[in-house]
Amino acid sequence: EAGVAQSPRYKIIEKRQSVAFWCNPISGHATLYWYQQILGQGPKLLIQFQNNGVVDDSQLPKDRFSAERLKGVDSTLKIQPAKLEDSAVYLCASSRGQGQYNEQFFGPGTRLTVL
Amino acid sequence: AQTVTQSQPEMSVQEAETVTLSCTYDTSESDYYLFWYKQPPSRQMILVIRQEAYKQQNATENRFSVNFQKAAKSFSLKISDSQLGDAAMYFCAYRAFFTGANSKLTFGKGITLSVRP
């Protein structure tokens, strides 16, 4: 079974530029999560999707971050414009569902550096 | 809101020895899940072990075991017979049991474990 795929693996941009990350979850997984992991901290949930609907985006800075999951499969996370404090690893995870316990499987992450 | 605290930023262990990683958490819920995740350098995070709060028995997975103290809100990970491949960052995480729609994980800051040959 293929794991969670993410691209690109690394991205370096100047502040105020825009950037997009892509995630392909494990086949059949209805729930998709985007976490932000700042250096020295644990991952923090940005947004959770159930199929193509948003379950929780309370921690997403909506003035600059946006995410979508069209057709309930792949997802993209966009930052526009980027700030220095957005430098972090962006992790995508997926699970079969959101109800009773379903393990979350993580992708390798995208490391973003904002200069 | 739930919080997870890992107060030790780094630990080191000799190969083949045993090491214990500490974690405390705070919640007002009576049922929940606790996890330890391993994140090797430049590699993806994987689940090491899971504990359901309603279970009194401590979870065990091969060389990994936990000491779950519900009243003290403590959840430590013991790694026996440490191997070089155990070197990684370890995160303690919490998830509510009855989540409704939201099943997010709340993570601690992590601890970097190094293994000396």
A81: cis peptide before it, omega within 30°?
A: yes
Q: Is A59 left (phi over 0), alpha (psi -120 to 50) or beta?
A: alpha
A64-93: pLDDT as tens digits: 999 999 888 999 999 999 999 999 999 999
B25-35: pLDDT as tens digits: 999 988 899 99
For an interface test with A, the pick among B2, B31, B45 (most A C-beta atoms closer than 10 Å) comes out as B45
Chain B residues whose CB is inside 8 A of the A107 CB are: 44
Which B residues, 6 through 65, put their C-beta within 8 Å of a C-beta on chain A?
6, 33, 42-47, 50, 52
Total number of domains in chain B: 1
Domain boundaries, chain A: 5-97
d(CA B91, CA B45): 9
A12-25: pLDDT as tens digits: 999 999 999 999 99
CATH of segment(s) A5-97: 2.60.40.10
For an interface test with A, the pick among B33, B44, B89 (most A C-beta atoms closer than 10 Å) comes out as B44
Long-range contacts of residues B31-35, Cβ cutoff 8 Å, at least 24 apart? B31/B97, B31/B98, B32/B2, B32/B94, B32/B95, B32/B96, B32/B97, B33/A101, B33/B94, B33/B95, B33/B96, B33/B97, B34/B66, B34/B68, B34/B75, B34/B92, B34/B93, B34/B94, B34/B95, B35/B92, B35/B93, B35/B94, B35/B95, B35/B105
List the single residue in A31, A40, A109 with the smallest CB-CB distance to B44. Answer: A109
Q: Which domain holds residue B62?
A: 3-116
